[in-house]
């Protein structure tokens, strides 16, 4: 089972994330949880989230980049759901060995993500924080899928990206079937 | 008794109290001294307006009985159990420490052994009335010192029983008494058992039935009947009436009618206690005092001094903090009302020779008058000591609930459940007996009573609570409660339920700032669900509801500020405000769409 955690505050005003979501929504072996739809009041059901994570062998975090990191509700999700003794610390082994795929969309493109550019650094400079979040819980980091210049790319490009996303998830599901998934699969 | 009517007597007492008590309070001497002075003033040795002192003294002892009933009411079984140490440990130590030297001193001034034992032990007893009243006025009852002192007093009430029984045994003409000791014991056991059974199983259903009739006076009448009846049973059995009343109170302490009983009995207790102190004042025999001033001065000074020293010494082992020992001693230094009874019996049994019973009675009365002065001195001493050392932190009273909830219907219950779940003790008041019965079965601490009565609020601890949740649904009662709280308990923060906008304005006019309209939040939620069903995503629906709330509150402020103007002006304003909100929502949508813009990648424009 692959768990897709989506975090977009205005899904029906989204272009990139909506396209990505549409591309995968009918895949088998997926559980999709849209955080802003589930918890509009920011009162996360920690138990439900943890049970969903326990069912999964692969966890996908899919969201737009806001202020160089995840949107507020996903940030809160990290804080509330990844609890000590469950996700980290003594006895905190619930996520160990699970695979983690990061799918992020950014407004900035290659020319703005560079030394001296609008964002001052290449995009890779902003990755370590989220990668370490996964690593800290013992998850295996997969090659992320990053959509940059999310406002600039045209529909054709966007649907191509959606296809790639769908393909990656289908492969992951297939690997699961062959027992190559997470540590406990 | 002279041919003075009851009415005239009542007027004399009340007038004397009204004059003397405020004066005494004004000079920080406490009300007890005021009453005593009033008694001296109108008594046979003062203006001689009243003569039948003994009868009044006896009658007014009911004040002490009611007081102990109330004290019992405040003690829930768990706390009573926790007090065992203070009562039996502390009480025994105190009786031994004070009794032994007093007996020896009495022997030394020439009393025969029998008389010395009776006099010494009787003087070792303190006055529950004086000590408790003094502690209450100074807010000491809940403090550790007050609890210890109260435990000691309770033990004394127990100890008085065998002491009264002892007097005839020490008498010279012994034969006529004795023998019936077994019978006496049996009577005591039966009486106590009767009180326990009645208190446990009979009173609650009766109280419930009476409460349901909604006849306040009948409830009050039954409360008085209950206390006085029990006192009478106990007296017949030869047990202290006060002790019986205390027992009855303790048995009802965990009942839902506790606060209602407290409020009903309180005024009677207050008046009768006052009468008791007046009677003590009247009984001071100034004739004897004038004829033998030196002997009496020595007697009073001697026994109070011995007692004070012994109490200071005993306070350590009992567990009174060092700095508080003088105060503890001063509080318990006087002779008690039981001494009057014992000396009377001793005279009848000829255990005390000559005029010793009169002299000792007088000494006890004088020692009562001395207590407020000694307490003042002890407090000064403590302040002096504290000024040097760092002050100990005030103990926070666990038993004082920090929050009251008035009205425990659908609204109050949710508030209460949240508080209870957070481990906060809330005192809950409601006036529907059936409702309370049901809630108690679910394990809530609910008390029966009308929360808009000042005395009930006092009894429920409004004086020491921090927050009151005014969840009363009836607008008029709701506002009455606010008025009461604002004028009598300004320290209480109010969280108020408003039924509608008009009610909300009334609350605001009274200075209440935390107000929740009872249906507002749930209606907003319903609105959100409707928006979602029409295709708005949950988070956006929530944000619109948030905006609506803020806008609505702002509008209420605007409309409320100018009193609303006339009707058509009002309607125009509301319409205008609605248009404003629509425009606001439109702007929000545009802004959201603009977020889609290219601000995050167009490098060249910087
Ligand atoms: C509040 C906010 C903050 C943003 N911060 C960044 C940022 O730090 N870096 C960046 O490249 N793009 C940033 N963007 C642009 C978004 O990443 C971009 O709009 C989004 O990825 C587009 O995806 P969507 O069509 O699914 O909304 C931000 C956008 C918003 C609304």
Contacts of A13 in chain B (CB under 8 A): 592-593, 595-596
Q: Which residue has the higher pLDDT, B270 or B181?
A: B270
Which two three-digit tokens encode residue A4?
């897709």
Best CATH choice for the domain A2-177 from the list 3.40.50.2000, 3.40.50.360, 3.40.50.300, 3.30.70.270: 3.40.50.360
Does the C-beta of B602 come closer than 6 Å to ligand 1? no
The 8-class DSSP code of residue A33 comes to E
Q: Is the pLDDT of residue B395 over 90?
A: no
Classified as helix, coil or strand, A146 is strand
**Which atom of ligand 1 is nearest the CA belonging to A108?**
11
Q: Which of B169, B181, B39 is nearest to B113 (CA)?
A: B169
B77-86 exposure pattern, b = at least 16 Cβ within 10 A, e = fewer: eeebeebeeb
- Residue B339 vs residue A38, higher pLDDT: A38
Residue B400 has pLDDT above 70, yes or no: no
In A38-132, beta strands by DSSP E: 58-64, 99-105
H helix intervals, B5-52: 6-26, 31-42
In angstroms, rounded to a whole number, what is the distance separating the alpha carbons of residues B475 and B458? 22
Under the banding of pLDDT at 50, 70 and 90, the label for residue B389 is low
| Residue B252 pLDDT > 90 | no
Q: What is the pLDDT of residue B77?
A: 66
Determine the average pLDDT of the residues in A99-105: 98
Question: What pLDDT score does B424 carry?
Answer: 83
Q: Atom 8 of ligand 1 has which residue's CA nearest to it? A: A67
pLDDT at A147 over 90: yes
In eight-state DSSP terms, residue A113 is S
- B544-557: average pLDDT: 90
- Rounded to an integer, the average pLDDT of B204-225 is 85
Binary contact (A12, B537; C-beta < 8 A):
yes
Q: Which of B260-264, B362-366, B384-388, B485-489 has the largest mean confidence?
A: B485-489
Closest CA to B220 of B21, B102, B333, B66: B66
* Residue B524, pLDDT above cutoff 90: yes
pLDDT of res. B593: 73
Residue B73's pLDDT is what? 81
Q: Least CB-CB distance to B601: which of A11, A37, A109?
A: A109
The crossing angle, in degrees rounded to 10, of helices B538-561 and B567-595 is 150
Model pLDDT, residue A39: 97
Question: What residue ranges do the domains of chain A occupy?
Answer: 2-177
Kindly indicate the confidence band of residue B396, based on its pLDDT and cuts at 50, 70 and 90.
Answer: very low
Query: DSSP assignment, residue B562?
Result: T
Mean pLDDT, residues B243-257 taken together: 80
What pLDDT is recorded for position B507? 95
Rg of chain B over Cα atoms, rounded to whole angstroms, equals: 32
What's the pLDDT at B397? 37
Reply yes or no on whether the pLDDT at B492 is more than 90: yes
Ligand 1, atom 31: closest residue by C-alpha: B595
Cβ distance of B600 and A40 shorter than 8 Å: no
Q: Residue A16's closest chain B neighbor by CA?
A: B596
Where does chain A have alpha helices with state H? 16-24, 35-38, 46-55, 72-81, 128-136, 155-177
Q: Is A6 in the pocket of ligand 1 (CB under 6 A)?
A: no
Q: Give A25: exposed, middle or buried? Use CB within 10 Å, 0-12, 13-18, 19+.
A: exposed
Residue A147 Cα: closest atom of ligand 1? 21
Residue of chain A with shortest Cα separation from B597:
A151
| Helix/strand/coil (H/E/C) assignment for every residue in B289-347 | HHHCHHHHHHHHHHHHHHHHHHHHHHHHHHCCCHHHHHHHHHHCCCCCHHHHHHHHHHH
Distance (Å) from the alpha carbon of A103 to chain B's nearest alpha carbon: 18
Query: In which order are the strands placed within the sheet that holds B446-448?
Result: B446-448, B426-430, B403-406, B467-470, B493-498, B514-517
The yes-or-no verdict on residue B2 having pLDDT over 60 is no
Token couple for B376: 């003042």
The overall average pLDDT reported for chain B is: 82
Low-confidence winner among B50-59, B177-186, B206-215, B387-396 (lowest mean pLDDT): B387-396
Q: How far is the CA of A3 from the centre of ligand 1 (A)?
A: 23
The residue whose C-alpha atom lies closest to atom 19 belonging to ligand 1 is A107
Q: How confident is the model at residue A164 (pLDDT cuts 50, 70, 90)?
A: very high
Ligand 1 and A70: CB distance under 6 A: no
Range in B259-268, B412-421, B533-542 with the lowest mean pLDDT: B259-268
- Over range A163-185, report the average pLDDT: 82
Residue B597's pLDDT band (cuts 50, 70, 90): low
Asked if A143 is an interface residue toward chain B (Cβ–Cβ < 8 A), one would say no
Q: Look-up: residue for tokens 């927050």?
A: B467
pLDDT at B387: 63
pLDDT digits (tens, 9 = 90+) for B434-444: 777 777 777 67
Nearest CA to ligand 1 atom 29: A66
Long-range Cβ contact pairs of A86-89 (< 8 A, separation 24 or more): A86/A50, A87/A137, A88/A136, A88/A137, A88/A138
pLDDT at position B264 is 84
Q: What is the pLDDT of residues B569-581, one digit of tens each?
A: 777 877 887 888 8
Cβ pair B600:A108 closer than 8 A:
yes
Spatial neighbors of B408 by CB under 8 A, at least 6 apart, are B416, B428, B429, B430, B435, B436, B439, B444, B446, B471
Strand pairing class (B426-430; B403-406): parallel
Over 90: is that where the pLDDT of B227 sits?
no
Instruction: Identify the pLDDT of residue B598.
Output: 67
**Does residue A14's CB lie within 6 angstroms of at least one atom of ligand 1?**
yes
Cβ within 8 Å, pair B598-A151: yes
Nearest C-alpha of chain B: how many angstroms from A37?
Answer: 5
pLDDT above 90: residue A95: yes
Task: Report CB contact under 8 Å: A151, B592.
Answer: no
Whether B386 has a pLDDT exceeding 70, the answer reads no
What pLDDT shows up at residue A181? 59
Q: What is the pLDDT of residue B273?
A: 79
B602 to chain A: which residues are within 8 Å by CB?
112, 118
CB distance B600–A106 less than 8 Å? yes
Mean pLDDT, range B88-100, rounded to an integer: 87
The C-alpha atoms of residue B316 and residue B358 are separated, in whole angstroms, by 34
Dist CA B244 CA B264 (whole Å): 19
Tell me the nearest-neighbour CA distance from B595 into chain A, angstroms: 9
Residue A68 has pLDDT above 70, yes or no: yes
- Give residue B398's pLDDT: 36
Q: Is the CB of A146 under 6 A from ligand 1?
A: no
Res B197: pLDDT = 84
Higher pLDDT, A34 or B345: A34
Residue B369 has pLDDT above 90, yes or no: no
Tens digits of per-residue pLDDT, B282-292?
877 888 888 88
- pLDDT above 90 covers a percentage of chain B that reads 21
Ligand 1, atom 18, residue with closest C-alpha:
A107
Minimum Cα–Cα distance from A11: chain B residue: B537
B16 contacts: CB under 8 Å, gap ≥ 6: B38, B39, B41, B42, B278
* pLDDT of the residue at B5: 73
Measure B551 CA to nearest chain A CA, in Å: 19
What distance in Å separates the CA atoms of residue B70 and residue B268, rounded to the nearest whole number? 11
Distance CA(A100)–CA(A143), nearest Å, equals 9
ipTM of the shown complex = 0.89
- Does residue B79 carry a pLDDT above 90? no
Q: Which residues of B touch A12 (CB under 8 A)?
A: 537
Question: What separation in Å is there between the alpha carbon of B539 and the centre of ligand 1?
Answer: 17
Chain B residues within 8 A of A36 when measuring between CB atoms: 537-539
| CB of residue A21 inside a 6 A radius of ligand 1 | no
User: Is the model more confident about B604 or about B121?
Assistant: B121
Distance from C-alpha of A184 to C-alpha of B85, rounded to nearest angstrom: 60
Does A106 sit within 8 Å of B595, measured CB to CB? Answer: no
pLDDT digits (tens, 9 = 90+) for B143-195: 778 888 888 888 887 777 677 767 767 766 544 444 456 777 787 788 888 88
């Amino acid at each position: 089972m692959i768990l897709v955690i989506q975090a977009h505050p205005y899904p029906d005003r989204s272009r990139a994330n909506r396209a990505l979501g549409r591309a995968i929504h009918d895949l088998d072996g997926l559980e999709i949880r849209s955080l802003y739809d589930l918890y509009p009041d920011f009162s996360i059901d920690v138990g439900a989230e943890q049970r969903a994570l326990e069912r999964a062998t692969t966890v996908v975090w899919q969201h737009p980049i806001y202020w160089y990191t995840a949107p507020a509700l996903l940030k809160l999700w990290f804080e509330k759901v990844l609890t000590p003794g469950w996700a980290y610390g003594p006895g905190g082994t619930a996520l160990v060995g699970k695979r983690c795929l990061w799918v992020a969309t950014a407004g900035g493109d290659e020319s703005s993500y560079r030394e001296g550019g609008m964002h001052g650094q290449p995009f890779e400079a902003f990755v370590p924080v989220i990668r370490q979040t996964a690593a800290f819980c013992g998850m295996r980091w997969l090659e992320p899928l990053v959509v940059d210049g999310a406002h600039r790319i045209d529909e054709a490009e966007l649907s191509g990206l959606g296809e790639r996303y769908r393909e990656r998830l289908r492969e992951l599901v297939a690997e699961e079937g062959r027992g190559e998934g997470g540590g406990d699969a | 008794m002279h041919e003075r009517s009851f009415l005239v007597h009542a007027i004399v007492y009340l007038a004397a109290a009204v004059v003397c008590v405020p004066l005494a309070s004004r000079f920080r001497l406490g009300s007890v001294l005021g009453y005593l002075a009033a008694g001296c003033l109108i008594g046979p040795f003062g203006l001689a307006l009243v003569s039948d002192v003994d009868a009044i003294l006896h009658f007014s002892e009911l004040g002490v009985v009611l007081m102990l009933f109330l004290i019992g009411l405040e003690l829930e079984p768990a706390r009573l159990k926790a007090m065992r140490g203070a009562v039996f440990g502390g009480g025994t130590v105190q009786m031994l420490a004070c009794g032994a030297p007093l007996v020896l001193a009495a022997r030394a001034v020439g009393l025969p052994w029998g008389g010395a034992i009776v006099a010494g032990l009787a003087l070792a007893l303190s006055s529950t009335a004086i000590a408790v009243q003094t502690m209450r006025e100074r807010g000491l009852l809940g403090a550790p010192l007050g609890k210890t002192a109260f435990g000691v007093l309770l033990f004394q009430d127990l100890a008085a029983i065998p002491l009264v029984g002892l007097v005839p045994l020490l008498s010279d003409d012994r034969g006529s008494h004795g023998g019936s000791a077994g019978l006496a014991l049996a009577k005591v056991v039966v009486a106590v058992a009767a009180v326990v059974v009645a208190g446990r199983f009979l009173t609650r259903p009766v109280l419930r039935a009476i409460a349901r009739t909604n006849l306040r006076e009948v409830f009050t009448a039954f409360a008085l009947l209950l206390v006085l009846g029990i006192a009478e049973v106990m007296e017949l059995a030869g047990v202290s009436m006060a002790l019986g009343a205390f027992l009855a109170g303790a048995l009802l302490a965990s009942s839902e009618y506790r606060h209602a009983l407290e409020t009903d009995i309180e005024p009677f207790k207050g008046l009768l206690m006052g009468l008791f102190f007046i009677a003590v004042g009247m009984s001071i025999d100034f004739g004897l005092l004038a004829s033998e001033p030196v002997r009496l001065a020595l007697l009073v000074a001697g026994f109070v001094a011995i007692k004070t020293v012994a109490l200071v010494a005993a306070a350590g082992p009992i567990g009174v903090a060092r700095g508080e020992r003088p105060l503890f001693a001063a509080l318990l230094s006087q002779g008690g009302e039981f001494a009057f009874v014992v000396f009377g019996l001793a005279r009848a049994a000829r255990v005390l020779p000559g005029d010793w019973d009169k002299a000792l009675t007088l000494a006890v009365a004088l020692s009562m008058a001395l207590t407020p002065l000694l307490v003042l001195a002890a407090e000064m001493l403590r302040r002096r000591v504290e000024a040097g050392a760092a002050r100990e932190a005030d103990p926070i009273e666990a038993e004082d609930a920090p929050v009251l909830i008035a009205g425990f219907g659908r609204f109050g219950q949710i508030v209460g459940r949240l508080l209870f779940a957070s481990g906060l003790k809330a005192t809950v008041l409601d006036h529907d007996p059936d409702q309370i019965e049901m809630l108690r079965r679910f394990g809530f601490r609910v008390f029966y009573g009308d929360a808009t009565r000042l005395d009930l609020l006092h009894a429920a601890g409004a004086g020491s609570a921090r927050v009151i949740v005014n969840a009363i649904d009836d607008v008029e009662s709701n506002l009455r409660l606010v008025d009461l709280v604002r004028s009598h308990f300004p320290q209480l923060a109010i969280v108020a339920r408003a039924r509608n906008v008009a009610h909300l304005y009334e609350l605001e006019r009274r200075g209440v700032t935390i107000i929740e309209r009872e249906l507002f939040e749930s209606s907003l939620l319903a609105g959100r669900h409707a928006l979602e069903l029409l295709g708005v995503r949950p988070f956006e629906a929530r944000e619109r509801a948030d905006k609506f709330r803020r806008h609505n509150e702002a509008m209420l402020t605007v409309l409320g500020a100018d009193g609303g103007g006339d009707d058509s002006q009002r309607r125009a304003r509301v319409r205008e405000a609605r248009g404003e909100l629509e425009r606001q929502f439109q702007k929000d949508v545009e802004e959201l769409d603009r977020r889609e813009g290219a601000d995050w990648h167009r490098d060249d424009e910087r």
